[in-house]
Chain A
Amino acid sequence: MSNFLVLFAGELQRMKKYHILGASFVIAFLWIGVLHLTQIENVSNIFPLLLFLDATSMSILMIGVTMFFEKQEGSMKSLLVSPIGKIEYILAKTGANIVSNLITLLLLFSYAKMFKAIDIHLLWLILAVILISFFHSLLGFVLTYYSKDFTQLLMAMMKYTFVFIIPVLLEQIGLITSDWMTKLLYAIPTKASMTLLNASVGTVETWEIILSLLYLLIISIGVFVIVVRKYDEFALKESGV
């Protein structure tokens, strides 16, 4: 892992230069705007909801954006003939993505602390965001591997949003109440993500937290193995074959 830190710093530098971090800040300020406009004084309950959107869909999107830039500019070829391991490369990208999500979390938390009332377990929330962002960043790799261009990636992301993100959001805001639907949602990783975020506010049963944590950890390891294994195939394709 000797070049992990170099790759990680490089990722952050490029996220800044390519205005990806800037876009992430814009989204964070959008959420701050939502918090500002809401009539609720104690924002503890809607806080996990905002972070949920950031740590899931934004994580997928940001991996896709950076990888498509590398494909388009040919810099990926240059990386392929550099002395770096694929695990270093994958972890550096994922790590930079997590940093971006944590910045959003801290910006939102600072605003809520200063201008609203908030009562959450910050350390738990940070750990939850790291795990959710890690899993969704890996998912970003998988979707990028199978997308020919950025439009195709966006389409894949839209499908993921409709099938996995929106139902969880609807349940969170109380629009889905049926028992069987709630049980069905336990099968998808976004429900586990939401549960872990909600746990920071303390409204979740312990068994649910353990189950969600195990589920996300196991599925993250599984997807990580796929991302590492499929990387060579992807690299082969990107080298012009």
Chain B
Amino acid sequence: MFQVNNLCFKYPKNKENTIKNVSFEIKEGEVFGLLGPSGVGKSTTQKILIKLLTNYQGEVLYKNKDLKSYNKQFYQEIGVGFEMPVHFSKLTANENLSFFKKLYKSNANTDELLQQVGLYEDRNKLVNEFSKGMKARLNFVRALINQPKILFLDEPTNGLDPKNARNIKEMIKNFQREGGTVLLTTHLMNDVDELCDRVAFMADGNIAEIDTPKNLKLKHGERKVEVEYKEGKEILKTSFDLDTLSKNDEFTSVVKTKEIVTIHSKETTLDDIFIKVTGVESDE
């Protein structure tokens, strides 16, 4: 859907490029995660893809056509969910959505969307009476009002309680099941694990790693199995090589003769990969 080749971008006031020769692809129907600490160029990349920044070098193709050749009608096809509030605060949720809906040729059923995110009962409240989480959910609905083909989501579950975060994630999965493509930017690695088909880790304006979460875990993880078992009153822990597990007599003996407390394969987490690849804690 998007093909990015040798993308470079420099802000007018900066000395060096914020984006340094980045290439990647977002395939149709996938959820693609763009990850990395603040200031590495994630937002800039997203702004280029949504045509807010145009004076870049390199090539960005959308549906095999130069992104620069698209006019404002490009926005008929995309939905952008910002992290910060983006609504008229002295209008109700319904008034906001009605206004924005009229700008698009295709419209989603906003009552249904409001019900799904749990805001239907509050639809006639002024947005300035909304909590942070309610505003975030309204942002998500705003991104979907034109039945977009591609969704750009920036921290869509930030500030949401677990129940509402779950709802939003389910809606993203449904969007994908119906053929939609998603570019997700987030610091929450649980969301990435749950939603993303492929992820790109950005560091210092470059893409440091790009692959499926599973492949990245295999690449960066240890191929070991860790077993905790009871030995009298004590709990002992030992680890075995995953690749030779079936031939490992000690492992077979422990499993057969001991009372197992826990048994885990030592896959790494995306949090660990984030720190390893970018050198920064993910919750910064």
Task: Check if A and B associate.
Answer: yes
- Interface hits, A1-25 → B, CB 8 Å: 3, 6-7, 10, 13-14, 17-18
Check if A85 is an interface residue, CB within 8 A of chain B.
yes
CB contact under 8 A between A14 and B47, given known A78-B142, A81-B78, A82-B75: no
User: In the complex the two chains form, is B142's CB within 8 Å of A6's CB?
Assistant: no
Interface residues on A, range: 20 to 34
Check if B209 is an interface residue, CB within 8 A of chain A.
no
Interface string of B57-100 (1 = CB under 8 A from A): 00000000000000011111010101011111111000100011
User: In the complex the two chains form, is A74's CB within 8 Å of B86's CB?
Assistant: yes
User: In the complex the two chains form, is B87's CB within 8 Å of A73's CB?
Assistant: yes
Task: Give Cα A83 to B102, complex, Å.
Answer: 10
Check if B11 is an interface residue, CB within 8 A of chain A.
yes
Q: A3, A75, A235: which contacts B88 (Cβ < 8 A)?
A: A75
Question: Which residues of A have CB within 8 Å of B91?
Answer: 13-14, 17
> Which chain A residue lies CB-closest to B126?
A17
User: In the complex the two chains form, is A10's CB within 8 Å of B43's CB?
Assistant: no
Question: Which residues of B have CB within 8 Å of A75?
Answer: 86-88
User: In the complex the two chains form, is B52's CB within 8 Å of A78's CB?
Assistant: no
User: In the complex the two chains form, is A84's CB within 8 Å of B87's CB?
Assistant: no
Check if B103 is an interface residue, CB within 8 A of chain A.
yes
Interface string of B32-48 (1 = CB under 8 A from A): 00000000000100010
User: In the complex the two chains form, is B43's CB within 8 Å of A240's CB?
Assistant: yes
CB contact under 8 A between A18 and B52, given known A6-B102, A241-B11: no
CB contact under 8 A between A73 and B102, given known A235-B52, A239-B52: no
Task: Give Cα A239 to B46, complex, Å.
Answer: 12
Interface residues on B, range: 20 to 34
User: In the complex the two chains form, is B89's CB within 8 Å of A81's CB?
Assistant: no
User: In the complex the two chains form, is A13's CB within 8 Å of B50's CB?
Assistant: no
Question: Which residues of B have CB within 8 Å of A74?
Answer: 82, 84-87
Task: Give Cα A116 to B81, complex, Å.
Answer: 56
- Interface hits, A75-130 → B, CB 8 Å: 75, 77-78, 80-85
User: In the complex the two chains form, is A6's CB within 8 Å of B103's CB?
Assistant: yes
B130 to chain A, nearest CB (A): 12
A24 to chain B, nearest CB (A): 16
User: In the complex the two chains form, is B75's CB within 8 Å of A10's CB?
Assistant: no
User: In the complex the two chains form, is A73's CB within 8 Å of B82's CB?
Assistant: no
User: In the complex the two chains form, is A73's CB within 8 Å of B72's CB?
Assistant: no
Check if A236 is an interface residue, CB within 8 A of chain B.
yes
Question: Which residues of A have CB within 8 Å of B142?
Answer: 78
User: In the complex the two chains form, is B86's CB within 8 Å of A78's CB?
Assistant: yes
By CB atoms of chain B within 10 A, which of A18, A82, A235, A239 has the most?
A: A82
Task: Give Cα A6 to B100, complex, Å.
Answer: 9
B82 to chain A, nearest CB (A): 6
Q: B82, B87, B90, B99: which contacts A18 (Cβ < 8 A)?
A: B90
Task: Give Cα A17 to B84, complex, Å.
Answer: 22
User: In the complex the two chains form, is B86's CB within 8 Å of A83's CB?
Assistant: no
Check if B251 is an interface residue, CB within 8 A of chain A.
no
User: In the complex the two chains form, is B52's CB within 8 Å of A14's CB?
Assistant: no
B270 to chain A, nearest CB (A): 26
User: In the complex the two chains form, is B85's CB within 8 Å of A73's CB?
Assistant: yes
A95 to chain B, nearest CB (A): 16
User: In the complex the two chains form, is A83's CB within 8 Å of B99's CB?
Assistant: no
Question: Which residues of A have CB within 8 Å of B89?
Answer: 73
Task: Give Cα A65 to B100, complex, Å.
Answer: 21
Interface string of A211-241 (1 = CB under 8 A from B): 0000000000000000000000001100111
Question: Which residues of B have CB within 8 Å of A18?
Answer: 90
Q: A78, A83, A85: which contacts B82 (Cβ < 8 A)?
A: A78
Instruction: List 20 interface pairs A-B (beta carbons < 8 Å), by A numbering.
Output: A13-B91, A73-B88, A74-B85, A74-B86, A75-B86, A75-B88, A77-B84, A77-B86, A81-B75, A82-B100, A83-B72, A83-B73, A83-B75, A83-B76, A84-B103, A236-B52, A236-B53, A239-B52, A241-B47, A241-B53
Given contacts A17-B88, A74-B82, A77-B84, 19 further A-B pairs with CB under 8 A are A3-B102, A6-B102, A13-B95, A13-B99, A73-B87, A73-B88, A74-B87, A75-B88, A78-B142, A81-B80, A82-B75, A82-B104, A83-B72, A83-B73, A83-B75, A84-B72, A84-B103, A236-B52, A239-B53
Closest 6 CB pairs of A and B: A78-B86, A83-B75, A74-B86, A6-B102, A81-B80, A239-B52
